Structure 1
Amino acid sequence: MKRVCNQCHTEMIEDCNVSVEGGFYGLKISRKGKGIFKSVSAKPKAAVCPNCGYVAFYIDEYKEFKF
């Protein structure tokens, strides 16, 4: 799926890493569900617009968050 910039409608560069500068940890998206084993988490990636610099975060495992 191609990602298109919301600002200028240019095709974005995907699969960029996201990290916190100065830390040995990163960002994690998580959702706690019902039950013991129903939680799900994913590491976000970024897409960058080469035209205007807009950045969008996304996860590849988005379907796992439906429960």
Structure 2
Amino acid sequence: MKRICIQCQTEMINDCKINVEYDLSGITIKQKRKGLFKSASARTKASVCPNCGFVALYIEEYEKFNK
């Protein structure tokens, strides 16, 4: 999916990895639901604007969170 920077309207570079210092697992988004084994989770990715440096976080498995 093509992402456009909300700051300067330049096409962003997708699929960048995110690592938190001293933690190699990065950032994960989780949603708890009712019931056993009903939670949803996804790894976070980033898009970076090569023009102004704006960073946007996103997940590719967003359909899991719609249930």
Structure 2 matches for 1:1-67, cutoff 5 A?
Answer: 1-67=1-67
DSSP-derived class of the 1:57 partner = strand
- 1:34 Cα shift? 1.2
Which residue type is aligned with residue 35 of structure 2? Answer: G
Q: Deviations over 1:14-65 (max 9, x none)?
A: 0000001222332110000111121010110000000000000000000110
TM (norm. structure 1) is 0.93
Task: Calculate the TM-score normalised by the size of structure 2.
Answer: 0.93
The 10-residue stretch of structure 1 (6-15 or 33-42) with the greater mean CA deviation from structure 2? 33-42
Q: Which runs of 4+ in 1 moved over 2 A?
A: 22-25
Number of aligned residue pairs: give it.
Answer: 67
